[in-house]
Structure 1
Amino acid sequence: MSTTEFFVDDSGPPPRMLVLWCPDWPAVAGAAAAGVPANRPAAVLLGNRVVACSAVARASGVRRGMRRREAQSTCPELAVFAADEARDARLFETVAMAVEELVVGVEVVRPGIVAVPVRGAAGYFGGEDALAELLVDHVSGNAGVECQIGVADGLFAATLAAHRSMFVRRGEAGEFLAPLAITELDQPGAERGELVDLVKRLGLRTLGAFAALAERDVVSRFGAGGLLAHRLANGRAERPPDRRRPPPELTAEKTFDPALDRVDAAAFMAKSLASGFHAGLAAHGLACTMLGIYATTESGEELARVWRCAEPLTPEGIADRVRWQFDGWLRAVPGARPTAGVSRLRLVPEETVEGASLQQGLWQGGEGGEGGEDGVAAERASRAMVRVQGLLGPESVFTAVLDGGAGPGERVRLVPWGDQRAERDPPGAAWPRRLPKPAPATVLAEPMPVRVLGPAGDELGFTARRELTGRPCAVSVDRAPTRAVLDWAGPWPVDSRWWTAVERPEHVRLQVLLAGAGAAALLLRGTGRESLKWTVEGIYD
């Protein structure tokens, strides 16, 4: 018998969904993790900009997109937290568990949103209104958070309905969506920012205007991503019904001895398991959009959670969700967490789509392409890095991220391979006291101590006004001959952590060009005016 099964053809409207949404969840989770009271304004920052804020903060004038300094000047008592998806997912597990106590088939869309099929649950509890009222009371009482509920045909329409606490009648999702702004297509995780920006520049401001376009024209102009967005704007399912059930062998399973009882060990394991799981699906021309994570503990407890995604999951996306879920299970409040470590884990593709969009394209090679030989080489390199991590540990392979900062050593941050390479500070911002270009070719991990000598051979320092006490004539490095200075520039004062009340040492930077064979230019840093210490921070070619 073939391992492929067929579902009943369903060309009607998408299934009716109930979405429970916890507003401003990143800010709520950040405040809860830090023990900040709910009545204090709170905001979450990424790249020095506000990406989420509480209702109390909005009432004080804080808005998404504000810079940190602007938000804090608008609301001085604002509590600020860094963006942390793992924290958001861990704390949201309490909400998902509360929903699961009443209904089955809970799907976590992302931290802050869960979806539930309405059919069955509404009939059992006496209708959609009764089900929604019961869920709101139960989540508020057991998880201690505020939530809103929306019901509509399809996940996309139900999510927007939840933002407005609305119940959209069956078959009227298109009419509900039509007057909404086209920017609603760019939901978190969907990555439709460029598409939405292009559609707006073409003069289409609402979902209804975009939905009115002919499907053929949308595909020819915007491609597969535009077609999916067009279906959503019309109130239809994201994709046509998939009549194939993934073969059982695509399930990834792994046992652990000893059992997993630490989040860092689970995160490391998730990388290799996710890579094999994704490769197995790709070999069958499939990609996963709904991931089932099932675990068994040493004491026989069964743990399960389903994650739904708007786009097909990448290996990194699969690993992230496994890590978030383990974080939620293992760090739950006492009484809710498992009594023993996880001894067996299964990853199940609960919903799949055709993986053609993830396959190598015939003409995608060459410069800047992601396919062809470049794509194959990148995939091989990625597998090699994961293999090295498997042999030596997760902290054995790093990749560099360029962040903002005044000094060259502050602008490069090393991130373990496979972790999110997100910017903490915008590298293109106008950083005060930034060094002029060009940047040093070599930045020393451990600054090298040196002495900067004046005309009389005395060591130079700098005054309270950050001016040198003399003209640099020579630089002396330990166990190396003293070299004369041909030219120099600076000094430039360094204002580090000026916003803190803690006393900090004074710093200056100085550039010197040395004479002799193999002439070199150095970037020096002087620290502490009272007990001065010069070090080599960088070397110019």
Structure 2
Amino acid sequence: MHAPTRSLVLWFPDWPITAFVSEAVSPPRPDAAVAVFAHNVVVACSWAARAQGVRRGQKRRDAQALCPGLQVVPADPVRDVRAFAPVVARVEERAPGVQVVRPGLCALRARGPARYYGGELEAARVLVRLLDDDGFGGVRASVADGVFTAEQAARSAAVDDPVRIVEPGAAGAFLAPLSIATLEDDEFGSLLARLGVHTLGQLAALQVERVRERFGERGVRLHALAGGLDSQPVQPRTPPPELHRDVAFEPPLELADQIAFGMRVAAEEFIAQLGAHDLVCTELRVVLTGERGERSERVWLHPGSFDAAGVVDRVRWQLAEDAQGIFGSGVAGVHIEPEAVDVAAHHAKGLFGAGPDERVHHALSRVQAILGHRGVVTPTIGGGRWLAERQVLVPWGDRVVAEKVRTRPWPGSLPDPLPATVYPEPRLVGVTDIAGAPVTVGERDVVSAPPAVLETAGQRRRIREWAGPWPISERGWDALRARKAHRFQVVDAEGGAWLLVVEEGEWRAEGRYD
């Protein structure tokens, strides 16, 4: 086992909150109670929320009971990583060789910065001052044997003295009184607690052979961490290439054609730089900045990969769609960067030229460039209870934005498989029983009689099988827009399958299973 490496750790408390505030269109006040939730559990909260009793690991209902005015923010790991990237780049300017442990926590070997700045304490203080000047107040720093020990030391640093040094060889004594929960392994910690082991010192005091026999190599690793023997060295990241491009307009421009013209060279350089790294851009982030600080940001998608003309088109479309009413003056700058890239070989043309799908894509893209972003749309399935409203038109090249809506709970919605034929306007039909009387559904969802005959388009079809009713209830609190209906699935004698809806005693065909 290798000896622990002296590691310098920078810890940013409540980083998901910081990332949210940095990208929020309307940032909350500094004294606002804000909490970030993942799976309805608090993963980070502001100091104002913490002052009212909100803590990490709380259920959402418990947190809101303690703090009724709590602002709920959904967790976004991509946002956390994106906001942390410039912070890491800033640290690398003063101390290269940074390892991103996770967003809000980074580590580097302490030896180099300590020799350059005159000691471990001085190096940590220089980085804290640097980040504080950049607006990242509250960052804590520590130097200790191994990243794990240094992280715990940073978490225990005081607000007025944000740097803590654990002397070489003192890691075990420093970690000994800490709870076993510090290892962040719930299963392992729960088992140890039942065995009477509650602190890291008690775990480190166990014989390593006994730990290996009971818990395997995973237990040996946690045993080493508890004793301050973190053998994993700092693994510096490889800084990503600078793929973004920024264009500043002085004076600011107001005409979309002028802005698009000014973006041509930058777009060509952007695509060429990606090509130099054998990459293509499949998702593009465009940020427009106004003269008075206005901001419009959007991620554009592409069914294949962007070329220079496609980049310029997205800037023009964003000016036409998002910037209306946002900019009180001209556009002062445009920032473009790849949100997602792919290996260029995956998008190379085939040996015998482009296939029919590629030719269709080029044709539709040319039409879209002439008519605008929403000039060419494709249908997809979205969320909703009624089949007609589930048909969503998406601009060509965009991902299905209705996917999140479709996965929401829709009580009364029709499960798969859906009818192959959906009528834009449900067709009026008749359903009668064996005696010829109209079939109705009572208040308790009880059918007056088994459906026997389906009358549609002047034809009478004998119903061979049927299923239902399945109630649909919408907006019961609104007397004007409330709806209550019942669905049936029927199969006629000729094998045709129908989706029927009865509402206020009137039968209609919503679709057909072809």
Provide the rounded CA distance (Å) in 2 between the counterparts of 1:218 and 1:148: 33
Provide the rounded CA distance (Å) in 2 between the counterparts of 1:493 and 1:72: 32
* 2:471 alignment partner AA: W
Q: How does 1:387-406 map to 2 (within 5 A)?
A: none
Structure 2 gap ranges (5+): 158-163, 244-266, 283-332, 362-382, 391-398
Report if the CA contact (8 A) 1:94-1:143 is conserved.
Answer: no
Of the three residues 1, 11, 20, the one matched with 1:21 is 11
**TM norm structure 1:** 0.53
Provide the rounded CA distance (Å) in 1 between the counterparts of 2:78 and 2:449: 53
Higher relative contact order (CA 8 A, sep 6+): 1
* 2:140 alignment partner AA: Q
Provide the rounded CA distance (Å) in 2 between the counterparts of 1:267 and 1:183: 44
Of the three residues 71, 78, 103, the one matched with 2:70 is 78
Q: CA deviation at 1:163?
A: 1.3
SS of the counterpart of 1:20? Answer: strand
Partner of 2:144: 152
Provide the rounded CA distance (Å) in 2 between the counterparts of 1:104 and 1:512: 66
Of the three residues 148, 156, 171, the one matched with 1:164 is 156
Of the three residues 98, 103, 126, the one matched with 1:106 is 98
Provide the rounded CA distance (Å) in 1 between the counterparts of 2:19 and 2:420: 36
SS of the counterpart of 1:115? Answer: strand
SS of the counterpart of 2:90? Answer: helix
> CA 1:432/1:16 → structure 2, altered by over 3 Å: closer, same or farther?
same
Q: CA deviation at 1:530?
A: 13
Report if the CA contact (8 A) 1:495-1:507 is conserved.
Answer: yes
Provide the rounded CA distance (Å) in 2 between the counterparts of 1:267 and 1:536: 51
For the aligned residue pairs, the C-alpha RMSD in angstroms reads: 5.9
Partner of 2:369: none
Provide the rounded CA distance (Å) in 2 between the counterparts of 1:205 and 1:517: 72
Provide the rounded CA distance (Å) in 2 between the counterparts of 1:434 and 1:219: 54
> CA 1:85/1:241 → structure 2, altered by over 3 Å: closer, same or farther?
closer
Report if the CA contact (8 A) 1:510-1:525 is conserved.
Answer: yes
The question of 1:516 aligning with 2:486 is answered: no
Partner of 1:36: 27
* 1:442 alignment partner AA: P
Structure 1 gap ranges (5+): 1-10, 187-191, 243-251, 273-336, 348-383, 397-403, 411-418
Of the three residues 104, 115, 119, the one matched with 2:107 is 115
* 2:226 alignment partner AA: A
Q: CA deviation at 1:138?
A: 1.8
Q: CA deviation at 1:446?
A: 8.1
Of the three residues 217, 220, 225, the one matched with 2:210 is 217
Report if the CA contact (8 A) 1:441-1:538 is conserved.
Answer: no
Q: How many residues align?
A: 383
Q: How does 1:250-329 map to 2 (within 5 A)?
A: 269=279
Provide the rounded CA distance (Å) in 1 between the counterparts of 2:511 and 2:278: 37
* 1:157 alignment partner AA: T
The question of 1:182 aligning with 2:180 is answered: yes
**TM norm structure 2:** 0.56
Q: CA deviation at 1:92?
A: 1.0
CA offsets, 1:498-522, max 9 Å, x none? 9xx9x976465535454536597x7
CA offsets, 1:14-44, max 9 Å, x none? 1111211111111221232123223322222
> CA 1:518/1:109 → structure 2, altered by over 3 Å: closer, same or farther?
same
Partner of 2:85: 93
Q: CA deviation at 1:475?
A: 5.9
Report if the CA contact (8 A) 1:177-1:233 is conserved.
Answer: yes
Report if the CA contact (8 A) 1:25-1:88 is conserved.
Answer: yes
Q: CA deviation at 1:185?
A: 1.5
Provide the rounded CA distance (Å) in 2 between the counterparts of 1:536 and 1:266: 52
Partner of 1:365: none
Report if the CA contact (8 A) 2:431-2:507 is conserved.
Answer: no
Q: CA deviation at 1:162?
A: 1.2
Q: CA deviation at 1:260?
A: 5.0
Provide the rounded CA distance (Å) in 2 between the counterparts of 1:264 and 1:452: 59
Q: CA deviation at 1:70?
A: 4.9
Q: Whose radius of gyration is greater, 1 or 2?
A: 2
**Aligned residues with identical type, % of pairs:** 33
> CA 1:492/1:175 → structure 2, altered by over 3 Å: closer, same or farther?
farther
Report if the CA contact (8 A) 2:429-2:508 is conserved.
Answer: no
Report if the CA contact (8 A) 1:485-1:512 is conserved.
Answer: no
Provide the rounded CA distance (Å) in 2 between the counterparts of 1:226 and 1:494: 54
Report if the CA contact (8 A) 1:20-1:149 is conserved.
Answer: yes
> CA 1:265/1:476 → structure 2, altered by over 3 Å: closer, same or farther?
farther
> CA 1:241/1:101 → structure 2, altered by over 3 Å: closer, same or farther?
closer
Provide the rounded CA distance (Å) in 2 between the counterparts of 1:488 and 1:196: 52
> CA 1:270/1:515 → structure 2, altered by over 3 Å: closer, same or farther?
same
Q: CA deviation at 1:111?
A: 0.8
Provide the rounded CA distance (Å) in 1 between the counterparts of 2:205 and 2:35: 38
